[in-house]
Amino acid sequence: MIYNRIKILRTEKGLSRKDLAEAVGVNFQTIGYLERGDYNASLELAFKLAEYFNVPIDMAFSPRPFKTMAEELAELRAAEK
Amino acid sequence: MIYNRIKILRTEKGLSRKDLAEAVGVNFQTIGYLERGDYNASLELAFKLAEYFNVPIDMAFSPRPFKTMAEELAELRAAEK
DNA sequence: TCATATTGTTATATATATACAACAATATGA
DNA sequence: TCATATTGTTGTATATATATAACAATATGA
């Protein structure tokens, strides 16, 4: 099982599943399946999504559960000297 | 089509396909298919392979052809101030 | 040279990702 | 409130990843 941040990345950009699906060239229901964790993206789709959101692939997909982006951001800012 | 550096990463470690396959839990012929580019790894397998080699996933897989690691290393060293 | 390990190739079977359709449930905006 | 967009869910069909087997070709080491 691979975890992903598709839903939150999409929501932050104010996109519908349909918008996102068209942007990366898949069926809009495929986005729904991925967001619900019904199955994993292919490597190819994972790269397309990461590139579309302009994030490294491991910021969008991970074999371990993600922290929230808020948590991660706060920790990074706290760690800055 | 996703490019990968599995063959060279494996060779640098002196592993056979069988060794690598056992380490990441797939059939040894699956490694062969990936190395020959017959098909792409799943996201799950891609993460396992990257973790096994201790490299970020985009150092092992890319939607665009890789430079050789030698080239990349040489450029990085040249870029150091 | 011989024996063995490794790799390449072909073929078949199964699991999973994706497409697509239909419809219900929920939100959103006029 | 009504109309419309979005999301969730179920089902069927197809494409692709993976497992497995068999065997040929090539390398490696005794």
Reported as a single tens digit per residue, the pLDDT across B10-58 is 999 999 999 999 999 999 999 999 998 888 999 999 999 999 999 999 9
C-alpha B73: how far from chain center:
16
Q: What is the ipTM of this complex?
A: 0.89
Q: How many domains is chain B built from?
A: 1
* Strand C–CB B36 distance below 7 A: yes
**Dist. CA B75–CA B61, nearest whole Å:** 19
pLDDT value at position B38?
A: 87
**Dist. CA B31–CA B17, nearest whole Å:** 6
pLDDT value at position A50?
A: 95
Closest residue of A to B51, CA-based?
A63
A33 touches chain B (CB under 8 A): no
Residues spanned by the domain of B47: 3-79
Assign A36 a pLDDT band (cuts: 50, 70, 90).
Answer: confident
Predicted confidence (pLDDT) at residue B81 exceeds the cutoff of 80: no
Question: Which whole-number Å values give the CA distances from A59 to B11, B39, B63, in the listed order?
Answer: 29, 24, 17
Q: What is the mean pLDDT of residues A12-28?
A: 91
Nearest to B2 by CA among B54, B52, B50: B50
Percent of chain A beyond pLDDT 70?
Answer: 100
Q: Of the candidates A2, A42, A63, which has its C-beta nearest B40's C-beta?
A: A42
Chain B positions in Cβ-Cβ contact with residue A57 (cut-off 8 Å): 57-58
pLDDT value at position B1?
A: 80
* CATH number (domain holding residue A63): 1.10.260.40
A12 phi, psi to nearest 5 deg: -60, -30
Q: What is the mean pLDDT of residues A12-39?
A: 90
A51 touches chain B (CB under 8 A): yes
Q: Of the candidates A46, A48, A56, which has its C-beta nearest B43's C-beta?
A: A46
Assign B67 a pLDDT band (cuts: 50, 70, 90).
Answer: very high
CB contact under 8 A, A58 and B56: yes
Burial class (CB in 10 A: 0-12, 13-18, 19+), B47: buried
* Strand C–CB A27 distance below 7 A: yes
